[in-house]
Amino acid sequence: MTLISVRDLRVRIGERVIADVPELDVARGECVAVVGESGSGKSTTLLSILGLVEGAQISGSIEAFGVDVRTASRSRLREIRGAKIALVMQSPQAALNPTLRLGTLLRRALKRHGVAGAEAERRTAQAVADVMLEPAILRRYPHEVSGGQAQRFALALALALGAEVILADEPTSALDVTVQAEVVAVLRRLRAERGLAVLLVSHDLALVSIVADRVLVMREGRVVESGPAAEVFARPRDPYTRELIAAVPVLPEADRVHD
């Protein structure tokens, strides 16, 4: 089942095209990765799906859960954003209110989506367990947890709200290799267990080669290559993709992430 479907997306600022994506689909349980150099339009593509690109002219169609994101009402968009689709950013700590304990943050987010009481407690416990955090973490403030814990908490928050798609923008770049492997392992398990879909933006080709089913390679706002990850990595057609892959040896740590 296709959860997100992008066709002929073109994001322009003035005369400049900052993202031109003919086709991007994300199906249930699938991980699609967007790779490419800095400024190639990866984040723009990701944020377009949530209708979060400001000050640009956007054309094409973006469907999420059968809803046209570009024409949907605000309330319909709100329903999808945050509930069905969650954005996990590079530095989740920065996005968390520093004055609230993680448990309070989680409860408030659930309440905003109409979930309270015993159901909120149940979902909180389940989500924290899903990402392999200790329940005690809920009593801590954002600055009292590590980068990897904050990231897993951001994931837990998304899961508690019932997210079916995670949009992850450089989710592991701030983390050391061991913690990266943990976050990746959690994502892999959730995909297998409950069909979570992941759209991943990453500079880390070693990571992408492990987790992605399909890959889009972007350069200067355009998709220069796309296809099944195994194919793209084994036989890159575009010279730029070849260059990217040649520059990044696959980490030996990568193997340990396999289930």
Q: Which positions touch ligand ATP (CB under 6 A)?
A: 13, 18, 36, 38-44, 55
- What strands lie across the sheet with 222-228, from one edge to the other? 67-68, 57-64, 2-13, 16-27, 222-228, 214-219, 31-36, 197-201, 165-169, 85-88
Cα 150 from Cα 53, distance rounded (Å) = 25
39 or 135: CB nearest Mg ion: 39
Question: Which one of 43, 90, 172, 241 is in contact with Mg ion (CB under 5 A)?
Answer: 43
The angle formed by the CA atoms of residues 135, 185 and 84, to the nearest 5 degrees, is 70
Question: What's the min distance (Å) between Cβ of 167 and Mg ion?
Answer: 12
Q: Which of ligand ATP, Mg ion, none is residue 5 near (CB under 5 to 8 Å by kind)? A: none
Interface size with Mg ion, residues (CB under 5 A):
1
41 or 82: CB nearest ligand ATP: 41
Q: Which of ligand ATP, Mg ion, none is residue 202 near (CB under 5 to 8 Å by kind)? A: none
Q: Are 120 and 107 in contact (CB under 8 A)?
A: yes
Question: What's the min distance (Å) between Cβ of 251 and Mg ion?
Answer: 22
Residue 211 burial (10 A CB sphere; 0-12, 13-18, 19+): buried
Q: Which of ligand ATP, Mg ion, none is residue 38 near (CB under 5 to 8 Å by kind)? A: ligand ATP
34 or 120: CB nearest ligand ATP: 34
Q: Which of ligand ATP, Mg ion, none is residue 55 near (CB under 5 to 8 Å by kind)? A: ligand ATP
Cα 222 from Cα 200, distance rounded (Å) = 17
- List contacts with Mg ion (CB under 5 A): 43
